[in-house]
């Protein structure tokens, strides 16, 4: 057997194994979600009948541990989450009928028979086919985080889609929810409608950027004294956290990226490549309020990137100005006659106190003296 043929066979076997494992994991996750849904259904129904209160859940958890030593996932807290899972999603699912066999008298006996209950667990036609496919790709822990932290169905669908398509970890999901990604995604002031002709690419670009980024990993004692170089240095030092903030599809190329035009050097603050958009993305950091002059500078950088750095198969470069404050109307006027795709976003370096509280609390030095 030739080496190339053997190598190809290995690649095919690897792909088959990984594909099989993925399908098995999806099926296992669906089975687990079905079980948890039905546990929640049983507990809810018993509670509504006045037969079970929260105290019996403690007994239920203990009985299950006794019946199935080493059983994981059925703590009192988790059982309450199963109840929440059912109560929040039951109106959106088509569920099979209960088993004909009577349920035993004790909580543990009842729970052991829940696998016979509602084996059919499918999305109602009132929801989209996309959600039907994505719902079972999301772990129970992810679902619980979404249910606790969000209210609207639209927002929940948004985060479920993000987990299913971008493989967010639980920590990443928490970060996006705390940073209110749902409200900020696609809200970036931009000129994409006039500079990106491809409809599909334009839609992807709109979803790739946010109106505001929380850079809470940057620690600066006095935010009013922020310096662009300090912010850039902190971003590079915490590049993984910054990518979590801007999105998993970004790959970092470098900071102070040099381009030479007419024998003169110019430096782009941060340069990335976006895999989904298949284009270079330049970020320019500005410590204060947005100024119209920033747009001309960024337009120049994007022209240089497209002419000298962009590969033939890649899409035109996109630029983002990241500043402390902006006026959307000013941004709109600045973009009207620009030919390169650009947007303007703001950033926060911390969850700052409202202005009315700044003088109420003691400053850092006073706090140190009080602690001493």
pLDDT band for position 101 (50/70/90)? very low
pLDDT of residue 183: 85
**Most confident listed range (81-85, 113-117, 246-250):** 81-85
Instruction: Give the domain ranges of the chain.
Output: 3-181, 187-356
Domain 187-356 falls under CATH 3.40.1350.10: yes
Mean pLDDT across 79-101:
75
Give the Å distances, CA to CA, from 224 to 64, 125, 235, 288, 295: 57, 53, 18, 9, 24
SS3 category, 103: coil
Which range is least confidently modeled, 51-55, 144-148, 264-268, 345-349? 51-55
Q: Give the integer Cα–Cα distance in Å for 123 and 128.
A: 8
Which range is least confidently modeled, 104-113, 125-134, 147-156? 104-113
CB 283 within 8 A of CB 346: no
pLDDT of residue 321: 96
pLDDT of residue 281: 97
pLDDT at 63 over 60: yes
CB 82 within 8 A of CB 40: yes
pLDDT at 65 over 50: yes
pLDDT at 220 over 50: yes
pLDDT of residue 15: 86
Task: Phi first, then psi: give them for residue 121, nearest 5 degrees.
Answer: -140, 90
Instruction: Give tens-digit pLDDT for 4-54.
Output: 888 888 888 888 888 888 888 888 998 999 899 999 999 998 888 777 777
Global pTM value:
0.64
pLDDT of residue 71: 85
Mean pLDDT across 121-140:
76
Q: Which residues of 65-85 are buried (b: 16+ CB within 10 A; e: fewer)?
A: eeeeeeeeebeeebbbbbbbb
pLDDT band for position 187 (50/70/90)? confident
Residue 114 burial class via C-beta count within 10 angstroms: exposed 0-12, middle 13-18, buried 19 and up: buried
pLDDT at 106 over 80: no
pLDDT at 342 over 50: yes
pLDDT at 222 over 60: no
pLDDT at 314 over 50: yes
Tokens coding 273: 């490549």
- Quote the percentage of the chain above a pLDDT of 90: 44
pLDDT of residue 126: 60
**Most confident listed range (93-107, 149-163, 264-278):** 264-278
Contact residues for 290 (Cβ-Cβ < 8 A; gap 6+): 321, 323, 325, 326, 327, 330, 331, 344
């Amino acid at each position: 057997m030739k080496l190339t043929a053997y190598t190809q066979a290995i690649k095919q076997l690897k792909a088959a194994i990984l594909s099989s494992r993925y399908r098995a994991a999806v099926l296992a996750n669906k089975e687990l979600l079905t079980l948890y849904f039905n546990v929640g259904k049983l507990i809810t129904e018993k509670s509504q009948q006045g037969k079970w209160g929260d105290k019996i859940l403690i007994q239920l958890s203990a009985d299950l541990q006794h019946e199935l030593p080493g059983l994981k996932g059925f703590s009192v807290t988790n059982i309450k989450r199963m109840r929440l899972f059912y109560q929040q999603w039951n109106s959106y699912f088509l569920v099979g009928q209960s088993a004909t066999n009577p349920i035993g008298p004790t909580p543990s006996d009842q729970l052991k028979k829940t696998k016979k209950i509602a084996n059919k667990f499918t999305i109602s036609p009132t929801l989209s086919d996309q959600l039907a496919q994505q719902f079972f790709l999301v772990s129970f822990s992810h679902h619980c985080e979404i249910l606790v932290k969000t209210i609207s169905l639209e927002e929940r669908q948004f985060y479920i889609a993000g987990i299913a398509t971008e493989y967010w970890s639980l920590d990443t999901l928490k970060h996006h929810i705390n940073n209110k990604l749902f409200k900020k995604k696609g809200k970036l002031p931009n000129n994409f409608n006039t500079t990106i002709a491809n409809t599909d690419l334009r839609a992807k670009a709109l979803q790739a950027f946010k109106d505001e980024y929380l850079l809470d990993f940057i620690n600066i004692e006095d935010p009013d004294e922020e310096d662009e170089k300090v912010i850039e240095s902190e971003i590079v030092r915490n590049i993984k956290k910054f990518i979590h903030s801007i999105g998993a599809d970004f790959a970092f190329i470098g900071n102070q990226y040099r381009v030479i035009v007419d024998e003169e050097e110019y430096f782009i603050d941060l340069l990335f490549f976006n895999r989904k958009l298949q284009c270079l993305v330049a970020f320019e950091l500005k410590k204060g309020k947005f100024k119209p002059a920033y747009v001309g500078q960024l337009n120049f950088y994007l022209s240089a990137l497209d002419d000298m750095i962009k590969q033939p198969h890649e899409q035109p470069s996109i630029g983002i100005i990241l500043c402390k404050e902006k006026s959307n109307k000013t941004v709109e006027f600045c973009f009207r006659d620009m030919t390169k795709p650009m947007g303007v976003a703001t950033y926060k370096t911390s969850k700052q106190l409202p202005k009315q509280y700044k003088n109420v609390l003691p400053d850092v030095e006073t706090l140190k003296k009080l602690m001493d």
